[in-house]
Structure 1
């Protein structure tokens, strides 16, 4: 499956998880549209209707001909309604109350329509003042009927052959025509929701992070040893100790079980824990995994071999004055540098920062140290630097039986995982699998928190 296809396949789950984003965006869009509409000047429309007919008709044929003639002249009457001949009279009618009214103003606020196949003319006027709109509409209607009488063809008696009558005078509107706040709010909701849906779709299609088991399966066939749920708030210590019955502690126990099953053909006496880049939770995983093994009754030693940015001591609240660096430079014996932390875990901290960590870790003394410590413990867990940052992890992987890599589902990109795998397999490291960290729990059933979505 291609990256684009897999991203498209994730869209339904993205919408299910983030449906609230679409709802919130829709509400914001609706409120924004309603608020903006409220700032606009309201416009009121009033409509006057005029009926046109022939004055005389002595037979059915004359009536038909008169009706046809009137219909043919409707466009002319419509043009006449907004002509200077009519609007100048309207200006005179309104001169007392609207002395500055111009022809342009009147034409802008007037719309003339002819319903299809009728001899009715509808004059609609718009204004922020409903009374003024109705006043203008009625003035145009009255002056148009007078203009038609004046310019229409005359009969033998000198009477106009066309009669225009106002059949529906304009009245002040009680409800504004625009802006339509309710309609605009609905449109705002739809636009907001649509934009949110498009944004989520683009985000899902362009997101290259390894956010689930399925996403990792697109990169490698190596197994997922476990998935650690996202922790709320700042942790007060290793969850295996602080929340032994929580989902996080159970996730590390599942990693322990998965490693046990992966070691059917050969015993795992030493494990290296690494990641692609910094900040993925490798130290937290190493500490909690070691404690999970201790919990099962095994003797475990945790070594902080991340000599550049050591954090094991800080995580466990231990002193870091003497540690791995001290042992490798033969300042102290390993037995004297190893201390016991809470939970019965033996820990060899990193010690003072060395100027040449790569040389120390690649030295024969490091290999001999790991080999010498193996018989005293059921398992040795080594926390090492990220693979893509320095070469330390590829070196340490040669001293252990298995290496596991941590993937932060909110941070790690697929290309980074691919490079991590290439670096470890390039030195023939036994990459046992991956641990997904910071996984969103499925709310539908918190028992089954390992979500593939």
Structure 2
């Protein structure tokens, strides 16, 4: 799922973080496949559009989304804390390319990132090279020995957004995730992102039905769909 950086919802996330002077942002969710990677990439794009030199970091070891690619003139910010280099990275399911850090595969690097003190120092090091840092984390409720705990990543950042998949994520799971985040002494929960991916709006359903009217001229169907999409009431999720 790809989210345009110009969406009003992404603009709200961007402005909220900027008004609270957050330079490092972590994106987490209760469970896997709730849209954290899509939100992280869209927010990174929004920072880039604003002229901020931005680093996208993939610490979502449960479901990594970025892979390294070879491009010229790649900067390096490898450190002793975590000997991992920033690189040109690409989303595994789209042609989007960012300056970023892919999910660490080295066990030593993973252990370093699991240490809260080392992780805070690493984020501070990234911020000496970049204006903004956006970190995609593993699901906060999926705890295992391989994952870097999402609440540790949140504790190392200036702010955190919790992504919730509407119609799928349970209320008690959201409550458990918020409680886990609030246990961090430095964690700042900026808000919750409600993802309506599996709940299309009435406008989308009507447009899909209009597309089935193949006997109508394309000019009429395009005009009808524009009118439907422009209606704010119809754009509400079902």
- Residue equivalent to 1:425: 182
Query: Could you say which structure has the larger radius of gyration?
Result: 1
Contact 2:27 2:162 in 1 (8 A): yes
Does the CA-based 8 Å contact 2:13-2:43 persist in structure 1?
no
User: How many residue pairs were aligned?
Assistant: 195
| Cα distance change of structure 1 residues 327 and 306 upon mapping to structure 2, 3 Å threshold | farther
1:386 CA drift (Å): 0.8
1:381 paired with 2:130, answer: no
Equivalent-residue separation in structure 2 for 1:272 and 1:331 (angstroms): 21
Aligned residues of 1:367 and 1:399 also touching (Cα < 8 A) = yes
Instruction: Check whether the contact 2:59–2:104 (CA below 8 A) recurs between aligned residues.
Output: no
- Pick the aligned partner of 1:276 from 25, 30, 50: 30
Counterparts of 1:375 and 1:392, CA distance in 2: 24
Structure 2 CA distance for partners of 1:343 and 1:386, relative to 1, 3 Å:
closer
Q: Does 2:175 correspond to 1:392? A: no
Whole-Å separation in 2 of the counterparts to 1:369 and 1:262? 20
2-structure distance, mates of 1:450, 1:430: 31
1:403 counterpart SS class: strand
Gap runs ≥5 in structure 2 = 71-77, 207-227
Are residues 361 and 409 of structure 1, via their aligned partners in 2, closer, same or farther at CA, if it must alter by over 3 Å?
same
User: Residues 23-422 of structure 1 correspond to what in structure 2 (within 5 A)?
Assistant: 238-240=2-4, 249-251=5-7, 253-261=8-16, 263-264=18-19, 266-313=20-67, 318-319=68-69, 330-331=82-83, 334=85, 337-339=86-88, 345-352=98-105, 354=107, 357=110, 360-390=113-143, 392-422=149-179
How far is the alpha carbon of 1:382 from its aligned partner?
A: 0.4
Q: Secondary structure at the match of 2:202?
A: coil
Alpha-carbon distance in 1 for matches of 2:50, 2:96 = 11
How far residue 359 of structure 1 moved from its aligned partner, in angstroms, is 5.2
What's the CA shift string for 1:361-386, capped at 9, x where partnerless?
A: 32533221110111332210001111
**TM-score scaled by structure 2?**
0.69
**1:271 Cα deviation (Å)?**
0.2
- Distance across 2 between alignment mates of 1:365 and 1:398: 12
CA contact (8 A) 1:305 1:382 kept: yes
Q: How far has the Cα of 1:345 moved from its partner?
A: 3.0
Shift of 1:301: 0.6
1:442 aligns with 2:227: no
The gaps in structure 1 that reach 5 residues or longer are: 1-234, 241-248, 321-325
Q: Distance in 2 between matches of 1:427 and 1:363?
A: 10
Is the CA contact 2:10–2:46 (under 8 Å) kept in the aligned structure 1?
no
Q: What is the deviation of 1:295?
A: 2.4
SS for the counterpart of 1:298 is coil
Cα distance, 1:327 vs. partner? Answer: 5.7
**Do the aligned residues in 2 keep the contact of 1:387 with 1:420 (CA within 8 Å)?**
yes
1:450 is displaced (CA, Å) by 5.5
Task: Give the deviation of 1:283 after TM superposition.
Answer: 1.2
> What is the RMSD computed on CA atoms of the aligned residues?
3.0
- Residue of structure 1 equivalent to 2:215: none
| Structure 1: distance between partners of 2:39 and 2:96 | 16
SS of aligned partner of 1:254: helix
Per-residue CA deviations over 1:158-184 (Å, capped at 9, x if unaligned) read xxxxxxxxxxxxxxxxxxxxxxxxxxx
Question: How big is each residue's C-alpha offset from its partner over 1:118-143, in whole Å with a ceiling of 9 and x where there is no partner?
Answer: xxxxxxxxxxxxxxxxxxxxxxxxxx
Normalization by structure 1: what TM-score?
0.38
Distance 1:331 1:284, change over 3 A: same
| Counterparts in 2 of 1:423 and 1:450: CA distance versus 1, 3 Å | farther
Distance 1:329 1:307 in 2: 19
